[in-house]
Amino acid sequence: MALREVGHELVESLVHDLARRQGEGHEPGRIQLVGEVGVVGDDGDGLVLEGGLGAAGDRGRGAQTGLSRDPLMGARPVSAPAWITDQPIAHRGLHGDGVPENSERAIEAAIRAGYAVEIDVRLSGDGVPIVFHDETVDRLTEEAGPVDERRWAELADLQLAGTAQRVPRLETVLDEVAGRAPLLLELKNWEAPGRLEQAVHEAVRGYEGPVAVQSFNPRSMAWFHRHASSIPRGQVSGPMDDIPVEWYNALVLERLLVNAISRPDFVAYRHDRLPYWPVAVARRLGLPVLGWTIRSSAEHETAKPHIDNLVFEGFRP
């Protein structure tokens, strides 16, 4: 799996950042690997990692002060658009009875209700970016099997959840939304970045409406940082219980250490894990935090002190 390389990329990124800070007059830094986790610091003027991210000298006890000037955890001029915090975000559109998730009807319903819209994007077998969450078609159609083993022409014929709605192409959704609401595209890719990211970039290149991308995969967001930095990007994370990654990758993902790779403009974190100190650190550094997926007013009230906006379904905030 591509995420095996995350640790190596993280260390390379940390080395680069420490070298930059030395060039700015800081004391020489050090990196010492401890098992699967690194310890990073520069004797009082930077960060220390020991199974997590903390202030220098903290040795893993949590965040303190003086972090805002360090690029780790995404500490840099933040370019998240205002809508990321101003408009509640409908998870996979405003779906419900007779309105399947990620369908054109769900997206239109969210727009008419005044919400921003989060949708999932993955590739068909022949490389067409489609709006669909699962790796297989089993749950939402009467067919079975992996999405990426079907060409777009086959997927286009599948009915969603027994309705007349069908799997939409990303380009079709962009044409229909036409800037009427902000779009948050979650890229479903656990492999090496490139094909999906390039396809999404091509699709949104001429799009004039508000749009941002996000992913669990930090390398996917790093691709956008390198090739399309004008598109706001978010690092998605939370407990990795149901996510297909090795335990050491789960460790760095859950603690947002991968922000050193993905360079996010915002963070989306599973709300029922909050409060959690790595998220508090990211927020202190100026990164907006989205709580996902919030399914009731009660859950929203509990999460409010720890988030700047919500990704919701099942109720209307």
Return d(Cα 209, Cα 293) in angstroms, integer: 24
Assess whether 124 and 234 both reside in one domain: yes
Band (177; pLDDT cuts 50, 70, 90): very high
Domain region containing 24: 2-74
CA dist 85 → 44, 167, 201, 303, 308 (Å): 34, 29, 23, 14, 6
Q: Answer with the one of 74, 99, 130 that is the final residue of a domain.
A: 74
Tokens of 111: 């727009």
221 — phi, psi (to 5°)? -70, -30
Q: Are residues 178 and 45 in the same domain?
A: no
Confidence tier at 240 by pLDDT (50, 70, 90) = confident
Residue 230 lies in a domain: yes
> For residues 269 and 242, what is the distance between their CA atoms, to the nearest angstrom?
14
pLDDT at residue 257, as a whole number: 95
Tell me whether residue 256 is in a domain: no
Q: 104 by DSSP, 3-state: which?
A: helix
19 and 94 belong to one structural domain: no
Look at residue 58 in the predicted model and tell me its pLDDT.
35
| pLDDT recorded at residue 57 | 33
Number of independent structural domains in the chain: 2
Is residue 254 in some structural domain?
Answer: no
- Using DSSP's 3-state secondary structure scheme, residue 143 falls into coil
Average pLDDT rounded to a whole number, residues 222-245: 92
- Amino acid at site 232: P
Same domain, 213 and 162: yes
Structure tokens at 217: 């995969």
Q: Does residue 242 register a pLDDT over 90?
A: no
User: pLDDT tens for residues 259-297?
Assistant: 999 999 999 999 999 999 999 999 999 999 999 999 999
- What pLDDT is recorded for position 84? 98
Residue 78: what residue type?
Answer: V
Q: pLDDT tens digits, residue range 12-46?
A: 554 454 455 445 444 444 333 333 333 333 333 33
**Average pLDDT over every residue of 248-260:** 92
- The span from the CA of 188 to the CA of 167, in Å, is 15
For the chain, give the mean pLDDT: 83
